[in-house]
Amino acid sequence: MCGILFSLATQEHPVDQNEWDVLKELNTRRGPDSQNLHHTQICNGSQDNSLGLQFYSTVLHLRGSDVVPQPRCDPNTGNTLCWNGEIFGGIDVSFGENDTQVLMNTLEKAASETEILSALQSIEGPFAFVYYRASTKKVYFGRDCLGRRSLLWLRSETGAFMLSSVGKAKTNQEDPNVWEEVPANGFYCIDFNVNIANADKNESSELPRACGIPLTLFPWTYVQNQDKLDMLKEGKLVKTDHTRGRLSFPFPRLNTTLPELEMIEGADADTEPAMDQAMKKAVAEFRSVLGESVKKRVADIPYLDTKGQARVAILFSGGLDCICLAALANQHLPMSESIDLLNVAFENPRAEKAKTQPAKKSKNRKPKKNQLEGEPEVKKQVEQEKRSIYDTPDRLTGKAGVEELRQIAPDRTWNFVEINVPYPEAMEYRQRIIDRMFPLDTVMDLSIAMAFWFASRGRGAVHVDGHAIDYESHARVLISGLGADEQLGGYSRHREAYRHGSWERLIQETQLDVDRISTRNLGRDDRIMSDHGKEVRFPFLSTYVVDWLCQQPIQLKMDLRYNRGVGEKILLRHVARELGLVNASRNWKRAIQFGAKTAKMTGESRSEKGQHKLLQE
């Protein structure tokens, strides 16, 4: 994980120094191990028209034996790279090697714009980047095709054009400058050879201009030729169609073959179906593909802590997606290493008020201090009452899940980290969380972001021999199950689509979910969790996993003839049982804001809907 901050300025469009300084500090939180600034000046005929480029990068060391500072600047060519990502395939990065330097070397060898774009599009992994090619006076920037890393741009008519991994919310609502997420719909280019005076003012009207220079977009499109797609999977360069300026998605559209299956009714709809040969083959392949994705995301993390702290933490609700990832991570990490399971629960005053509490009066009568010290049973009762407000749905499934993991891997130390967030503490950090998730600004965004922010901070307690011990996870890599529901039919809307339009409508709904992964909330989640100097990785969103799932017939991934807890994500449920997670294989989908109890935390917010904008403070 790294932080990227870039500005393009002229005398007419200067940098706001106060804003730049704030963004430097925010990006430093993302990359505490190294921070550097690089300047480049481009003269376009006269000093008045000169362009000033600033590249500021921060680094969180997660690849290779040593910290590799950024930006990477070649003193011979003047080319400059700011990189925030991980290369897990497409470009060969040897075990223990730093991927930023490997990418810089690859781009330096590219002889043309086509080769630059081809190299970038071939990368398997999450990323955002800014790359300046001095010889052609062009800056390229963008995000991976699934939008797994944050990058924002600043729309400004009078100020500098800016890119940043994290933005700064408006303090004045009349300020015309607007921070927006860079769409993950392709790679963008700023061509300094363009004559601004002659540039078509209507060109790319939906895009911001970089100090008057129109942006060029190289959009992602689906590959029609299977041979080209196979080359992408093998990590070979597939030349961009430069005349059309298009990039190739590394996965196809969904398999649209409609199954011919009989309806299932009654008790049979609640029964786990036996696996036929097609399903057995799919389960074995999916377990292998997903396992390889997990392996690449956990196996090459440097050992930075000498005290034996876990290198990997799972965002852990005990649900089907995260527990499968935990079981697979167990197969690819040394048994001597612990794995942190981060489980967050919030004190929710509204939910507590709504509960019927027969013992409420006696609960308010607190024993005297000397009584607590001298009476273990009273002390235990008070402690139990204190913990009960954090027995959220995710806490209960999390406790059950860790016990199942301990059964299948008893030699592993599983640190089940109970992260309890009192309501006053949630309110104390509320504005900081709102600022980090910016420019997203809805009630639902805050509910989800709050859960992720406290979970990724990792401060809680673990229970050893029945005693709670304060514990803070120092794992820099967080593993998330995001992406499973979109591809495997985990949402209620998939069941509704099947109910209204059978398999054909279900395929359409699933394709829609895959298509909009890049436009939804991954940038927000990246900004939230990196605020603690940590990086979140999504094994279900490896493009190799997405590619494999897109090719499978719909009924192997989800079979909504069966009831809830059986038919949705049926492929992953079979994998869970193969991993020994029998109980977890029947878990239902539960959104984190309801599982951790961050939704509607006060009586005043009862009427709020998830899509409502947050009130300005």
Active site residue ranges: 2
Task: Tell me the two tokens of residue 559.
Answer: 């079979």
Residue 602 CB contacts under 8 Å (≥ 6 apart), including other chains: 349, 350
Sheet holding 339-346, edge to edge: 467-472, 459-464, 414-421, 339-346, 312-315, 477-479, 535-537
Give the angle 378-383-388 at the CA atoms, nearest 5°.
125
Task: Tell me the two tokens of residue 267.
Answer: 């008790």
CB count in 10 Å sphere of residue 218: 23
**Rounded to whole angstroms, how far apart are CA atoms 557 and 489?**
8
Q: Is the distance from CB of 117 to CB of 152 less than 8 angstroms? A: no
Kind of pairing between the strands at 477-479 and 312-315: parallel
Buried b / exposed e along 355-393 (16+ C-beta atoms within 10 A): eeeeeeeeeeeeeeeeeeeeeeeeeeebeeeeeebbebb
Element (H, E) at 219: strand 215-221
Residue type present at position 281: K
Q: Is the distance from CB of 218 to CB of 187 less than 8 angstroms? A: yes
CB count in 10 Å sphere of residue 168: 21
Half-sphere CA count of 284, side-chain side, radius 13 A: 7
* Long-range CB contacts (within 8 A, 24+) of 562-567: 562/264, 562/269, 562/270, 562/271, 562/273, 563/269, 563/270, 564/495, 564/588, 566/269, 566/270, 566/271, 566/272, 566/273, 567/269, 567/489
223: closest CA among 556, 521, 543, 516?
543
DSSP letters spanning 465-524? TTEEEEEE---SEEE--TTHHHHHT-SHHHHHHHHHHHHHHHHHHHHHHHHTGGGSSHHH
Distance between the two ends of the chain, CA-based, in angstroms?
A: 31
**Rounded to whole angstroms, how far apart are CA atoms 543 and 187?**
17
Q: Is the distance from CB of 350 to CB of 604 less than 8 angstroms? A: no
